[in-house]
Amino acid sequence: MKGWHKRGMKHIAAFVALALLAASLDAEEPAKPTPSEIVAAAPLADWTAIAPSDLLIMDLAPDAAAKPRRVVIQLMPAPFSQGWIGNIRKLAAAQWWDGTSVNRVQDNYVVQWGDASERKALPQGLTVVAESEYEVRDGKDRPSQPRLEASIARFFRWFADGFIADFPVARWSSPHGISAHPVHCYGMVGVGRDMPPNTGTGAELYTVIGHAPRHLDRNIALVGRVIEGIEHLSSLPRGTGALGFYETAEERVPIRSIRLASEMETDKPLPTYEYLSTESASFSAYADARANRRDPFFIRPAGGADICNIPVPVRRAK
Amino acid sequence: MKGWHKRGMKHIAAFVALALLAASLDAEEPAKPTPSEIVAAAPLADWTAIAPSDLLIMDLAPDAAAKPRRVVIQLMPAPFSQGWIGNIRKLAAAQWWDGTSVNRVQDNYVVQWGDASERKALPQGLTVVAESEYEVRDGKDRPSQPRLEASIARFFRWFADGFIADFPVARWSSPHGISAHPVHCYGMVGVGRDMPPNTGTGAELYTVIGHAPRHLDRNIALVGRVIEGIEHLSSLPRGTGALGFYETAEERVPIRSIRLASEMETDKPLPTYEYLSTESASFSAYADARANRRDPFFIRPAGGADICNIPVPVRRAK
């Protein structure tokens, strides 16, 4: 994890320490395992279960070959975006998305879904969330959230970027303390909104299907990430209207239902999922291998990776 | 263009200067145009024509609705990758790709095409290119290439990253001088290869359809970028085999032909293309707006953008 990170003026000293570390890592070493080999060899203790109550299951209409299309989204843990996530839980419980559609597919940017008519009444009791909730401050003017700083610090203590649970976050220092916000990496799910100060409700959602659009960070709420089935969204035909919106109703992809996994009625049990703990030794080795490939295909380690090039491994639990 | 760039130890002083610039830009200002509004307003003089001899036209078989699928690739200018690009010109002239196919679509990574049988004989006279050609050195041990340093320096003179013509490049300093290499941004086209020291011929090609896989930089040759029609590749069904390879011949997408635009026989003239000159004032304003959105939708400018988030605008010439 050297270089290649957004950082503020406060991080210059840290960067120097890091560059020295890089120099030592750049010495010749024998070939090493690939990132996926490291993940495959991780002991069971290095995996963390994802609660079914944090999984949002989106079933699209089957494709042209009648194959089912299921997308599994993990909702983000506290302290991030909990106002919007509470709304999303209410919308799922109200079966609000049933019969809505995927309406926008913009190449190298986002896939967006929700109510194409923009007239469907929302459930009662949704929260209006403030723009200040796009980030989390952990400082003098806010009760300390030790988990925030401690868990970022543990792995990426020299860096501006890190992880909370399996979510990518950026952080920076200010006179008020540490601030952090989730990052728009590939597969992250966010909340569409109107012009500010509107912050969106959570009824209109999108996921990133291209190079990380970091300019959206702290401008739009992020609420989760796709952990399975993103190909059902990323391989959809691109919309030909402005911003990649589909121009006709026929192009839209119907959404059959969106439910929390913990609230779904199913004949057989749903799969459960686990992620490679970002504080584990296995993850540390995996992240280093992503940043510095030394397996036989590679002739030069990169000497760094941006946080969106270190996706946290997720798998179905056995 | 502040922060968010890969850089070496030599760039720390430059970074400080940059951070001060950032502070002044972060003061409140009136709303500004979007990046696309800046591009639309750019004067004709800020656009540079792309020679038809630098365009590779790939025609896939029509899609299920019988719609044509054409992908236009711009080949990279000197001093980069000219050995492989020479081979690609020969392969196109020999009509070598006709009847080959797209064989691999890996989500958030690459689409790859070439001869699925791996047995098709190559044309005579292809060059075997050395690994040293993955980058360009412009220093004491090599005749100076003033255009390399001058053109990177002009726009991104404080940074590790910049552009040559409309291609993203990274550079770094060493005791031997300046080195530079093209960057694996979305849409860039590279040369598949076997294990090192094999460097590939140019017959097996791929394009990036996800977050920039920078670990491939300096490990694989880059030869161009897709400037039109990438959606015909990025929206293909993902392969279900290892590395996203299609598992059956039926899944592969037939390639009808790949030709240089200057060598195509056509009934009506092909479109011509032009890019927004990266040394123009318009591009500078565009890049600043990509890094610091101040149009009304945004509440906080990012304070930086990585080079892959500043794709160089290309359009059909009128």
Judged against a pLDDT cut of 80, whether residue B157 lies above it is answered with no
B238 to chain A: which residues are within 8 Å by CB? Answer: 231, 234-235
Which residues 24-83 of chain A have a CB within 8 Å of chain B?
A: 64
pLDDT beyond 60 at B153: no
- Would you call A302 and B214 a contact, using CB atoms and an 8 Å cutoff? yes
pLDDT of residue B155: 41
B positions 93-112 inside 8 Å of A (CB) = 105, 107-108
Q: Is residue A43 pLDDT above 50, yes or no?
A: yes
Output the pLDDT for position A277. Answer: 93
- pLDDT at position B6, please? 30
Length of chain A: 318
Q: Which of B5, B219, B290 sits opposite A299 (nearest CB)?
A: B219
pLDDT at A172: 76
Report pLDDT digits (tens) over A191-218.
999 999 999 999 999 999 999 999 999 9
Instruction: Please check whether residue A304 is in contact with residue A2, taking contact to mean a CB–CB distance below 8 angstroms.
Output: yes
Range in A44-53, A168-177, A196-205, B248-257 the model is least confident about: A168-177
CB contact under 8 A, A211 and B9: no
Contacts of A187 in chain B (CB under 8 A): 108
pTM of the prediction?
0.89
Q: State the pLDDT at residue B243.
A: 97
| pLDDT greater than 50 at residue B4 | no
CB-based contact, B147 to chain A, within 8 Å: no
User: Does B297 contact A212 at a Cβ distance shorter than 8 Å?
Assistant: no
ipTM of this predicted complex?
0.88
In angstroms, the Cα distances linking B48 to A228, A318, B42, B175, B278 are 43, 56, 12, 35, 9
Q: For the residues B180-200, what does the mean pLDDT come to?
A: 97
Packing angle between helix A146-156 and helix A281-291, nearest 10 degrees? 50
Q: Could you tell me which residue, B149 or A108, shows the higher pLDDT?
A: A108
Question: What's the confidence (pLDDT) of residue A13?
Answer: 30
pLDDT top residue among A49 and B160: A49
One-letter amino acid identity for B129? V
Question: How high is the mean pLDDT of chain B?
Answer: 86
b/e string for A88-98 if b means 16 or more Cβ within 10 A?
bbbbbeeebbe
CB contact under 8 A, B213 and A308: no
Interface residue of A211, A250, A307, A310 to substitute, partner B, most B CBs within 10 Å: A211
A75/A303: higher pLDDT? A75
The tens digit of pLDDT for each residue in B109-130 reads 999 999 999 999 999 999 999 9
The reported pLDDT for the residue numbered B30 is 64
Tens-place pLDDT, residues B31-50: 689 999 999 999 999 999 99
Task: Report whether the peptide linkage leading into residue B197 is cis, meaning its omega lies within 30 degrees of zero.
Answer: yes
| Helix H or strand E encompassing A169 | strand A167-174
